[in-house]
Amino acid sequence: MPTTVHDAIESCRSELYAAVLSDTLDRHGLYNQSPRAGMRLLDVSKPLCGLARVGIYMPVYHDSEELDVYGEEIDLVDSLQPNEVPVLACHGLAHIAPWGELLSTRAQVLKAGGFVTDGSVRDARMIREMGFPVVCAGTTPVDTKYRGKLVLYDVPGKIGGVDVNSGDLIFADEDGTVIVPRALIVDVVGAALAKVRAETTVRNELAAGESLRTIFTRHRIL
């Protein structure tokens, strides 16, 4: 079982999936940890796992040296540490793409865990070819210049209706995305690992012909 956040990340990548993390969060009394449907992996063969770095986007209608629409986003990306994941809350700005191939390239070099937004991305084909994990609400060719700006980062945010803070664990696979609060990462991942291993026993018993009712009564797992 993991004893550190680093161990928990490695365990997630090797053994866990979104559904079991969601079930485990339910057991901890956290019932709203999966952003709404519509935010999907750009490439479902590339699950995403890492620690959030939250950024907040706002609409703008011009650019200038004083406004510097790219400034804060450049600083956020350049500051990424291994396994960190920029999580950009765009709040309905789905018509612009705050992320593309070049930012993915820089993040990948820094060994980031991926990228998440409730907005759109562009350069989708190149990002897929790079193998960089991205969760987004869609794609568009339209840049943020003259249209949107990252105004704050490493502040509390909300994405897809779920609260998110820098340091929270973000995990995404083809079922969807799950956010684990940073204070609970080790406990939740440890409990999820135990559930996965118990589910293996249940699966074997089902395959041997036992009934769902008998097995559920025995293990309380479904």
Per the annotation, does 100 bind a ligand?
yes
Per the annotation, does 119 bind a ligand?
no
Per the annotation, does 123 bind a ligand?
yes
Per the annotation, does 55 bind a ligand?
no
**Neighbouring C-beta atoms of residue 217, cutoff 10 Å:** 9
CA distances from 79 to 85, 94, 106, 153, 219 (A): 11, 25, 10, 11, 46
Whether 68 contacts 96, CB under 8 Å: no
Per the annotation, does 25 bind a ligand?
no
d(CA 70, CA 147): 11
Cβ-based burial of 60 (10 A; exposed 0-12, middle 13-18, buried ≥19): middle
**Neighbouring C-beta atoms of residue 94, cutoff 10 Å:** 17
**Residue positions forming the annotated binding site:** 100-103, 122-123
**Residue positions forming the annotated binding site for substrate:** 100-103, 122-123
